[in-house]
């Protein structure tokens, strides 16, 4: 770490080291781009994975926080930079260094108005194009007269603005043409059976062949990050279940971990066991749902019901212990809401026995089927480099050969005590992503098997103060949610409300690779690719 610090200071002498652990460096905007490139390319650093990119209103300037990780060495770094001019904020784009920055920079532009120079496509990501102001700035005027509820539909733009720096540093606006006149552009979504929610793809077709996919998000954007800024920490918890509703426990686990870290609360061992069990149950139900919906996308409607039949059993367990089936609302700061239900342990044991024969049936009905095989194999290839650059984590990333499991990299809960295999496959196609999930189901069962009999006695929660104030500082924690790395970044100024909250959703990178994977395939392949990535729309839009 010392070496990295020195190397950064060597390249940018005016950089300021804000904190040592995690290493946080504040860099002025001008040399930022060159430093970023060095960080990725330098043999000793190789920060090739941009975990999370967060815009922050820092008062007189508009900052951006980059969480970087090296997939080669595993070390981590937080970079901060800021656009000093609030009226006309501009920063260099890092799209060509980390491809995941594409949508993330659009998100920052959407919320803070920072224009990224040399970004190919500076449209708003979530809000309407006619939205006035940048809502996550602290001086944003939320008056309903300025942004009334608009009932007319938004005009779709085919020409996106972009900003390019010429050689002498002069910034000029250029036009980035998305779709030319006369091209056959079909809307897949926002209301479409295969987009799993209100997501809209604009697809340029050449007969049956997909030539380009333009992702339009924001149809279920609720401004959860903005809402969090006016909620207390316990209140915030209620919203995390509503991000990716299929990883409700894991999302909430991440936020609880982040707050507990900041408060330096050590949770009892029993809580860790319970949380891990719940995380794995959530992963199981999410992967079962993936199987169901993926089969349905490929036209195997019957399979859909088999998956749901078995998922129901997990939901019943959730209902019994947590009191909710979808929105479980179980983790709290310092523990869990209630102790586990006495029935839970034997229900889990029954389920561990019940599922493997069912999985065999799944494979008979769908996996082995020649039609399904031909529709999955060799379709939507994602290379390891692209997976890292786009930040495609979770089962989709592991199918491309990238061992990105947060449970292994940064064990939390009791993942360091259980034995499980990280499923990594090299194929990188739809079939690979499908098989990773199917094998992860078995691994989850294996984890549950080890935990369920050994839950230690103890309290199910530690007492916390009625009003939680986080000490001033920045906190980032991530967990392995069902579909990738889910991170929470909290910037606190010592209040009972957070100053800025950012959720690193696994869904946004997933949806950003659809264009890459579906290009030059058939329409049916686009559906298969979308199904295999298994994004959840409320998680993308937040």
Partner 1 sequence: MAMSNSFTRYISSFWKGLWSLLKGMRRTIIIFFRKKTTECYPENRATLVISDRFRGELVMPHDENNQHKCVACGICEMNCPNDSIHIESEMVEDENGKKTKVLRRYNYDLGSCLFCQLCVRGCPHGAIEFRNTFEHAVFTREKLVKQLNREGSTVVKKR
Partner 2 sequence: MFDFAVVTEWVDGLLRSWLPESWAVLAEFFLIGLCLLLAYAVIALVLILAERKVCAYFQCRLGPNRVGPWGLTQSVADMFKMLIKELIQVRHVDNFLFNLAPYIVIISSVLAFGCIPYAKGLEIIDFNVGIFFLLAVSSIGIVGILLAGWSSNNKYSLIGAMRSGAQMISYELSIGLSILTMVVFSGSMQLSTIVESQADGWFLFRGHIPAFIAFIVYLIAGTAETNRGPFDLPEADSELTAGYHTEYSGMHFGFFYLAEFLNMFIVASVAATLFLGGWMPLHIPGWEGFNAAMDWIPSIFWFIGKVAVMIFIIMWFKWTFPRLRIDQLLRLEWKYLLPLNLCNLLLMVIVVVFNLHF
- Using the minimum distance from each CB to partner 2, give the nearer residue, 225 or 429: 429
Q: Are 444 and 219 in contact (CB under 8 A)?
A: no
Q: Are 158 and 119 in contact (CB under 8 A)?
A: no
* R_g over Cα of the chain: 23
Identify any residues that bridge with 175 across adjacent strands, giving them in sequence order.
161
> How far apart, in whole angstroms, are the C-alpha atoms of residue 270 and residue 414?
10
Residues between 192 and 251 that touch partner 2 (CB under 8 A): 192-194, 205, 208
> Closest by alpha carbon to 48, among 12, 25, 28, 77?
77
- Closest distance of CB 232 from partner 1, Å: 8
Per-residue binding string, partner 2, 289-328, x by CB under 8 A, is ------xxxxxxxxxxxx--x-------------------
Residue by residue, DSSP assigns 229-279 as TTS-HHHHHHHHTTTSGGGHHHHHHHHHHHHHHHHTPPPPHHHHHHHHHHH
> Judged by CB under 8 A, does residue 235 bind partner 1?
yes
> Closest by alpha carbon to 194, among 514, 539, 519?
514
Per-residue binding string, partner 1, 356-375, x by CB under 8 A, is -----x--xxx-xxxx-x--
460, interface contact from partner 2, partner 1, none, CB < 5-8 Å by kind: none
Helix (H, G, I), strand (E, B) or coil at 509: helix
- Closest distance of CB 227 from partner 1, Å: 9
364, interface contact from partner 1, partner 2, none, CB < 5-8 Å by kind: partner 1
Per-residue binding string, partner 1, 463-492, x by CB under 8 A, is ---x--------------------------
Q: Which of 67, 80, 311, 375 binds partner 2 (CB under 8 A)?
A: 375
> Judged by CB under 8 A, does residue 186 bind partner 2?
yes
Helix (H, G, I), strand (E, B) or coil at 504: strand
> How far apart, in whole angstroms, are the C-alpha atoms of residue 47 and residue 97?
10
How many residues of this chain interact with partner 2, rule: CB under 8 A? 32
Q: Which helix (DSSP H) or strand (DSSP E) does residue 212 occupy? A: strand 209-216
> Judged by CB under 8 A, does residue 183 bind partner 2?
no
Tokens at 17, concatenated: 């080291």
DSSP symbol at 341: P
Q: How many CA atoms lie within 13 A of 261 on its CB side?
A: 21
> Judged by CB under 8 A, does residue 372 bind partner 2?
yes
> Judged by CB under 8 A, does residue 322 bind partner 1?
yes
> How far apart, in whole angstroms, are the C-alpha atoms of residue 15 and residue 6?
11
> Judged by CB under 8 A, does residue 525 bind partner 2?
yes
- Closest distance of CB 345 from partner 1, Å: 15
> Judged by CB under 8 A, does residue 416 bind partner 1?
no
Binding positions for partner 1, rule: CB under 8 A: 231, 234-239, 302, 306, 309, 312, 316, 319-324, 327, 329, 332, 337-338, 341, 361, 364-366, 368-371, 373, 466
Binding positions for partner 2, rule: CB under 8 A: 184, 186, 192-194, 205, 208, 295-306, 309, 365-366, 369, 371-372, 374-375, 522-525, 527
């Amino acid at each position: 770490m010392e070496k990295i610090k020195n190397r950064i200071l060597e390249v940018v002498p005016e950089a300021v080291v804000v904190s040592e652990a995690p290493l946080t460096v504040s860099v002025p905007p001008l040399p930022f781009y060159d430093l970023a490139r060095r960080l990725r390319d330098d043999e000793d650093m190789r920060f090739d994975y941009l975990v999370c990119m967060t815009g922050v209103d820092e008062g007189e300037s508009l900052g951006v926080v980059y969480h970087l990780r090296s997939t080669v060495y595993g070390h981590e770094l937080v970079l901060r930079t800021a656009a000093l001019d609030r009226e006309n904020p501009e920063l260099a784009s890092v799209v060509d260094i980390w491809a995941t920055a594409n949508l993330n920079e659009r998100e920052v532009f959407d919320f803070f108005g920072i224009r990224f120079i040399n970004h190919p496509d500076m449209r708003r990501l979530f809000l309407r194009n006619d939205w006035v102001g940048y809502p996550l700035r602290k001086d944003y005027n939320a008056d309903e007269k300025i942004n009334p509820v608009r009932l007319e539909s938004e005009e779709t733009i085919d020409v996106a603005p972009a900003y390019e720096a010429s050689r002498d540093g002069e910034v000029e606006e250029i036009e980035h043409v998305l779709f030319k006149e006369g091209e056959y552009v079909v809307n897949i979504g926002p209301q479409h059976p295969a987009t799993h929610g209100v997501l809209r793809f604009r697809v340029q077709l050449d007969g049956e062949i997909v030539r380009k996919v333009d992702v339009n998000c924001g149809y279920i954007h609720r401004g959860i990050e903005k809402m969090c800024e006016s909620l207390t920490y316990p209140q915030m918890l209620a919203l995390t279940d509503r991000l990716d509703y299929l990883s409700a426990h894991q999302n909430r686990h991440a936020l609880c971990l982040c707050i507990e870290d900041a408060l330096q609360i050590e949770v009892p061992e029993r809580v860790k066991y319970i949380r891990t069990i719940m995380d794995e149950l959530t992963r199981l139900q999410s992967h079962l749902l993936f199987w169901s919906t993926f089969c349905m996308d490929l036209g195997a409607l019957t399979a859909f019901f088999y998956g749901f039949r078995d998922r129901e059993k997990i939901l019943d367990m959730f209902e019994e212990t947590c009191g909710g089936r979808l929105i479980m609302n179980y983790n709290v700061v310092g523990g869990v809401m209630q102790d586990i239900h006495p029935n839970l342990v034997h229900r889990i044991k029954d389920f561990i026995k019940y599922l493997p024969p069912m999985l065999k049936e799944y494979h008979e009905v769908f996996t082995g089927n020649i039609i399904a095989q031909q529709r999955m194999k060799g379709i939507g290839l994602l290379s390891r480099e692209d997976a890292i650059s786009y930040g495609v984590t979770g089962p989709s990333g592991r199918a491309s050969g990238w061992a990105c499991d947060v449970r292994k990299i940064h064990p939390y809960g009791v993942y360091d005590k259980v034995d499980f295999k990280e499923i990594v496959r090299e194929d990188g196609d739809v079939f690979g992503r499908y098989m990773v999930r199917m094998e992860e189901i078995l691994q989850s069962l294996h984890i549950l098997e080890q935990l369920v009999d050994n839950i230690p006695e103890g309290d199910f929660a530690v007492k916390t103060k009625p009003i939680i104030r986080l000490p001033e500082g920045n906190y980032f924690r991530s967990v392995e949610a069902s579909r990738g790395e889910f991170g929470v970044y909290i910037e606190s100024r010592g209040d009972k409300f957070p100053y800025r909250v950012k959720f690193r959703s696994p869904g946004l990178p997933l949806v950003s690779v659809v264009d890459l994977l579906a290009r030059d395939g058939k329409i049916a392949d686009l559906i298969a690719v979308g199904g295999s990535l298994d994004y959840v729309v409320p998680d993308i839009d937040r």
